[in-house]
Amino acid sequence: MGNAYLIGHLTVKDADKWAEYRSRVPATLAPWGGELILRGRIVKVLAGEHIHTDTVMIRFPDVAAVDGWHASAAYQALIPLRQQATDGVLLCFED
């Protein structure tokens, strides 16, 4: 198996809290080998429907690293801030 990717499809509700969350996440990724690949706003939907405005993609060495990161005390402490800042979903993919 290859890398694992966390993809978040999000709609920002509070820009200040989103900025704070974004500034604090990188430190939580390092112990798990996580690397931010993309953080951007949608330009257009080419097919189908998509309700969220922003996407985040983080690459990890494997699914176990994604699970470890998500369950870590460092990241769990940020979840309330993420929930205040955004609505959305987090997905995990493997290549």
The Cα–Cα gap between 60 and 32 comes to 7
Give the chain's domain count.
1
**In terms of pTM, does the model score above 0.95?**
no
CATH number at residue 14: 3.30.70.100
Concatenated DSSP letters of 42-94: ----SSS----SEEEEEEESSHHHHHHHHHSHHHHTTHHHHHHHEEEEEEEEE
Domain limits at 67? Answer: 4-94
Question: Residue 20 gets which letter from DSSP?
Answer: H
> pLDDT tens for residues 11-61?
999 999 999 999 999 999 999 999 999 999 999 999 999 999 999 999 999
Cβ neighbours of residue 77 closer than 8 Å, sequence gap 6 or more:
none
